[in-house]
Structure 1
Amino acid sequence: MKKTNTILLLLIMSFTLMTLSCTNSDDDVIIDDFSSLDVELMARDFSGVVLVAQNDEILFNKAYGRKNSQENGFNDINTVFDMCSITKQLTAAGILKLEMQNELTVNDSLSKYFDAVPNDKEDITIHQLLTHSSGLLNGIGGDYDTITEEEFLEQVFNSALISPVGEQFNYSNVGYSLLGLIIEKVSEMDYESFLNSQIFQPSNMYHTGYVIPDWQEDEVANGYLNSVENNKPNEENWSDNGPYLNLKANGGILTRANDLLLWSQSIMNNTVLDEATTSKYLFPHFQPTNIYDSYGYGWGIENHDSENKLVLHGGASDLFTSDVWIYPNKGITIIVLSNEFDQSVYTIAREISNFLLAQ
């Protein structure tokens, strides 16, 4: 089973924007308190984990549905899911970590890191890759297609730009895979190894990665499509170092909700990035977008100049759906992970947000 194609992903991401602005509909989760959330999620046959926290206090953390077809194969709060495109914020953090270490700058161009970059792409900057303003296309193949670095770069560099460099927001998985390669070239480490040493370990995220964590057999959820069990993500066509470049660094990292809470706390506590770099990380660098009010570095940004500033990002395949919302000024974190393609993930996050902000 291949993951969702580019068009479906963009439709899903557009749905996020729609749910942020639309009024309640029959599909909305109406939350008066966390008990009503629990009842609603069970009524919807939701499959996954929902975690809500404020600062160091977990307000809600429950699991629903099945992670596999074994007799006792139910999701629990420690189940590992595919975070899909939430991976991008980790790639962005890796780039900024290298900038903190004076190993690169976001104003560097592609031609500094790659040979034979064609004229129309040689001046694309890391900043433009981070903000989806490079003009590069979304993707060049299936997420689980075998592809070498040479083949990947040849196809990317030979592709036509879909907009002038730096002028428009066009969501690009290709751009984030290039960022992953830049991380490897600058750090002289494999992408996941760099994230593990610089982000996951300092944040105590011991259950996040591609292949480094010692996953137990029943720890990672199988994906479900129309109630039919499919593979675990790490049972797909991966290399020894995780996914090939059509997916690597733009998606596919595996995690559990508690690890994402630790990541949120690391951001707000400046554990991995210092205060100035965190501000740069969560700054609205590009607008308008067709998804969020504006885009930072791997994050959508809403209400930037408000006490209710929101940084968020979702992800989806045809087997998994994810969303993380953080209100950094309020210390609120909302995490929804599902092992189904479930558009209500975004609605759930929004309604939890509405309930909390109304308190």
Structure 2
Amino acid sequence: MEALPQLAERLGREGEAGRFMGAVLVARGDEILFRQAYGVADVATGAPLTVSSRFRLASISKQFTAAAILKLQDDGKLSIGDPVCRWIQPCPEAWAPLKIHHLISHTSGIPDLMARPAWGLRRVTPATLHELTEDSKLYRLSFVPGDKVRYNNAGFNLAADIVEKASGMPFGAYLQTALFQPLGMADTGLEEAADHGIVTGHANFPAGLTAQRDPNVSIVAGAGALYSTLDDMLVWQRALHGGRVLSPYSYAQMIMDHSPADQPNERGGRPHRDWGYGLMANRLGQRVTPGFQDYEIYHTGSWSGFRNLATWQPEARVAVIVLSNNYHQQPQVLLISQQAMAEALGHAFPTGLDRN
């Protein structure tokens, strides 16, 4: 008997009609409730997606960079309270108040990549972590560190540079050694020059479904350059939230809210989200109808033809992972994730998004 019949019926219909392409996994406790893939891995070949397909994680990658920093903290190599200027030399005078904490909580005040002049050129030009660090040094802080929260990729690139300096290893190699290999995550890694067998990203254009073949993830090395699969992401969710990656102290720091006390509410008057280290938390079920109130720890991802959402409900230990290789499926990805979460928790099955 199908464990999530309503989700299975809807996804079968949406996939058959071409309205959803991607892979979905739902687990509760130690049980996998749902695991399916829909659509094509590459529109040019028509090859189908499978449950083992490798997807670009985009900004879901941020939690791995944060976990690497916290793992180094647990090993006594650094502290999130360290001044950034301890690790980045020469260091701009304006960065004197900056702590590693600010980089991984979106509170640094460093202007983000997309907010800088010539972003269009930077977007398509490969870069090393050192070059990205040097780029960030060119700009004044847009606010006093810690005074505001503003979504920021540049901070995570700087954090990845610090991981290299503190570990004495290339960023990707440290992630493999400290995180992925111990957990058996053989299908997860930093996308570099090699062919990693990642599916193609797509976008919906007037001419139809169009492949996006120039991801240039080098410019988001610490913020969005990892790839993974449904199964590896489930391993990660269970290990991270089950206490097998970080010390209790570092994990508590990772999921607590680091946004200022005067952070405004979300659109529609909903309570503001918690800004953790590479993770966020909120009651995402308030964004669908009929809604539900369960607390979820999550992160989204969007880059070069991909839209993703990975959520974790801690009390029931429900993991929902939705990976799509179509950039324009953001509403679908959100709705599917919350339909899956609702049905796994025994709530009424949502029929649409709450647009308030």
SS at match of 1:106: coil
- 1:329 maps to 2:315: yes
| Residues in 2 aligned to 1:167 and 1:248: alpha-carbon distance in whole angstroms | 26
- For 2:86, which of 92, 101, 112 is the aligned residue? 112
| Residues in 2 aligned to 1:196 and 1:281: alpha-carbon distance in whole angstroms | 20
SS at match of 2:110: coil
Deviation at 1:45, TM superposition (A): 2.5
Q: Report Cα offsets for 1:123-143 as digits up to 9, x if no partner.
A: 211111111001111115434
> Which amino acid letter does the alignment assign opposite residue 198 of structure 2?
V
- For 2:38, which of 64, 74, 77 is the aligned residue? 64
- 1:349 maps to 2:356: no
Deviation at 1:214, TM superposition (A): 8.2
Q: How does 1:72-151 map to 2 (within 5 A)?
A: 73-139=47-113, 140=116, 141=119, 142-151=122-131
The answer to whether the 8 A contact 2:26-2:320 is kept is yes
1:297 corresponds in structure 2 to 277
| Residues in 1 aligned to 2:44 and 2:210: alpha-carbon distance in whole angstroms | 13
- 1:153 maps to 2:133: yes
SS at match of 2:301: strand
2:252 corresponds in structure 1 to 279
TM-score by length of 2: 0.82
| Residues in 2 aligned to 1:65 and 1:35: alpha-carbon distance in whole angstroms | 15
| Residues in 2 aligned to 1:271 and 1:213: alpha-carbon distance in whole angstroms | 31
SS at match of 1:207: coil
The answer to whether the 8 A contact 1:50-1:62 is kept is yes
> Cα gap change, 1:149/1:212 in structure 2, threshold over 3 Å: closer, same or farther?
closer
Q: Report Cα offsets for 1:249-268 as digits up to 9, x if no partner.
A: 10021111111001001113
Greater fraction strand: 2
- 1:310 maps to 2:291: no
| Residues in 1 aligned to 2:181 and 2:198: alpha-carbon distance in whole angstroms | 20
Return 5+ residue gaps in structure 2 as ranges.
267-271, 285-292, 348-356
Return 5+ residue gaps in structure 1 as ranges.
1-30, 238-242
| Residues in 2 aligned to 1:338 and 1:229: alpha-carbon distance in whole angstroms | 13
| Residues in 2 aligned to 1:289 and 1:314: alpha-carbon distance in whole angstroms | 20
Q: How many residues align?
A: 316
| Residues in 2 aligned to 1:149 and 1:283: alpha-carbon distance in whole angstroms | 28
> Cα gap change, 1:290/1:168 in structure 2, threshold over 3 Å: closer, same or farther?
farther
| Residues in 1 aligned to 2:142 and 2:162: alpha-carbon distance in whole angstroms | 22
| Residues in 2 aligned to 1:212 and 1:205: alpha-carbon distance in whole angstroms | 17
The answer to whether the 8 A contact 1:53-1:334 is kept is yes
- 1:250 maps to 2:223: yes
- 1:230 maps to 2:212: yes
| Residues in 2 aligned to 1:38 and 1:185: alpha-carbon distance in whole angstroms | 45
2:290 corresponds in structure 1 to none
Deviation at 1:273, TM superposition (A): 1.1
Q: Report Cα offsets for 1:275-298 as digits up to 9, x if no partner.
A: 332222212222537875111111
| Residues in 1 aligned to 2:89 and 2:190: alpha-carbon distance in whole angstroms | 28
- 1:183 maps to 2:156: no
Q: Percent identity?
A: 27
Deviation at 1:121, TM superposition (A): 1.4
> Cα gap change, 1:149/1:290 in structure 2, threshold over 3 Å: closer, same or farther?
farther
SS at match of 2:33: strand
The answer to whether the 8 A contact 1:45-1:65 is kept is no
Q: Report Cα offsets for 1:317-354 as digits up to 9, x if no partner.
A: 24111110001221100000011111121222122223
SS at match of 1:250: helix
> Which amino acid letter does the alignment assign opposite residue 6 of structure 2?
D
> Which amino acid letter does the alignment assign opposite residue 229 of structure 1?
A
| Residues in 1 aligned to 2:193 and 2:246: alpha-carbon distance in whole angstroms | 23
The answer to whether the 8 A contact 1:135-1:162 is kept is yes
> Which amino acid letter does the alignment assign opposite residue 8 of structure 2?
S
Deviation at 1:302, TM superposition (A): 1.9
1:33 corresponds in structure 2 to 6
Which moves more between the two structures, 184-193 or 221-230? 221-230
